[in-house]
Amino acid sequence: MKLAENIKKHCFNHLNLSIFGAQIAIYAMFVAIWAMVTILLEHDTNIAIDSIRVNATVLFLLLVEFMVNFYLLVPKLYLHHDKLKKGFFWGINLIIVLLWNCYIISHHKEYSLGTSLGLEFYQSGVIWLLLNYAMIVAAILMHYYINRSRHLRYIREQKQRTTEAELAWLRNQLNPHFLFNTLNNISSLTQIAPQRAQNAIGDLSEILRYALYETEVEEVLLADEVKFIQNYIKLMALRCNPNVEIKTLFDIRNSQRRIAPLLFLTPIENAFRCGISTERPSFIHISLTDSEGKIVFLCDNSNYMKKQNDQDGVGVELENMHHRLELVYQNRYRIEQKTDKEWNHLKIVIEQ
């Protein structure tokens, strides 16, 4: 019962039904073509009918040979690594071919190889045998093609899932240190500037809402991303002293322009991490513009990074940003990056 259920399941899946329908269609097409040619060229109706009947029978036997192997013998015997099963496969096919060609064995005494008629008969028999084995090989190759196609599709699906998971991880890189520092800054403001603290809580709420709920899609409106960046910069500016010059420029002309979410979070965060000094004048200049089908992000900041651990962290985060750009905007972006002892420059251009 289990074997019968497995055979039924194999025979009636969508792909195999499609192949079955295609084979029947090909069989009908060949028979129809042969019938048309025979009727047009043969004037004797009886001979034409016999020719059509014989060739329809021959093609039907070849079709049966293919179907038996494709649906039963190849998947159950040949595709296994067991040599015994493969031996059974070829043995069963040999029996089938002999049964298909039993008329050659039963009538071989009626013909002599010394006559042209006998030679022609046996040549036809050899061709017929070769056609039978061609159907067996075709069934094997069809299975190899199907299995390879399934394997390649599985690899593509796995790669797609991996890419989606990787993108989900990369776009949710809201640094926990940012949350801790922001909460500490807000806590300090509650004593000296309650209104500013209240505004900061509102900005933090908007940031968290956007990061948690609005970035689960592949692209968001650029205007929404700009609002997120503005709120983020406001909160980061809470810990800056008066010596820090913060300038921003946002010029979005197309309200429907879309972009991958949280794409510029890393360079902005690094600008505040590396561009602020408690003793010396510092600057952070950030701009995001949209014009002529291009999104241009520009970030310039002073460079005061001292700790090796901070440098390693920045390197990893920027590498993740590059990787995400490559995944989302392959061949549609370019990066210009310059760094010296006192100045960091980053420009990202994305072509839509």
Secondary structure (DSSP) of 211-260: IIII-SSS-EEHHHHHHHHHHHHHHHGGG--TTEEEEEEEEE--TT-EE-
Residue 112 pLDDT: 43
Instruction: Identify the three-state secondary structure at position 348.
Output: strand
What value does the mean pLDDT take over residues 58-67?
Answer: 79
List, for residues 122-135, the tens digit of each pLDDT value.
555 666 677 778 88
Rg of the chain over Cα atoms, rounded to whole angstroms, equals 37
The backbone torsions φ and ψ at residue 27, rounded to the nearest 5 degrees and listed phi first, read -60, -50
Quick one: pLDDT band at residue 298, thresholds 50, 70, 90? very high
Residue 126 pLDDT: 67
Mean pLDDT comparison of 41-50, 86-95, 195-204, 240-249, highest-scoring range: 240-249
| Contact in structure between 328 and 310 (CB atoms under 8 Å) | no
CA quadruple 82, 85, 91, 94: dihedral positive or negative?
negative
The backbone torsions φ and ψ at residue 325, rounded to the nearest 5 degrees and listed phi first, read -60, -40
Q: Assess whether pLDDT exceeds 90 at residue 44.
A: no
| Contact in structure between 232 and 265 (CB atoms under 8 Å) | yes
Q: d(Cα 12, Cα 214) in Å, to the nearest integer?
A: 44
pTM of the model: 0.54
* Domains of the chain, residue spans: 2-168, 171-351
Instruction: Identify the three-state secondary structure at position 62.
Output: helix
CA quadruple 80, 81, 82, 87: dihedral positive or negative?
positive
Quick one: pLDDT band at residue 28, thresholds 50, 70, 90? confident
Instruction: Identify the three-state secondary structure at position 176.
Output: helix
The identity of residue 189, as a single letter, is: L
Quick one: pLDDT band at residue 109, thresholds 50, 70, 90? very low
Fold of 171-351: Heat Shock Protein 90 (3.30.565)
Residue 111 pLDDT: 43
Residue 300 bridge partners (DSSP): 285, 345
Q: d(Cα 73, Cα 76) in Å, to the nearest integer?
A: 5
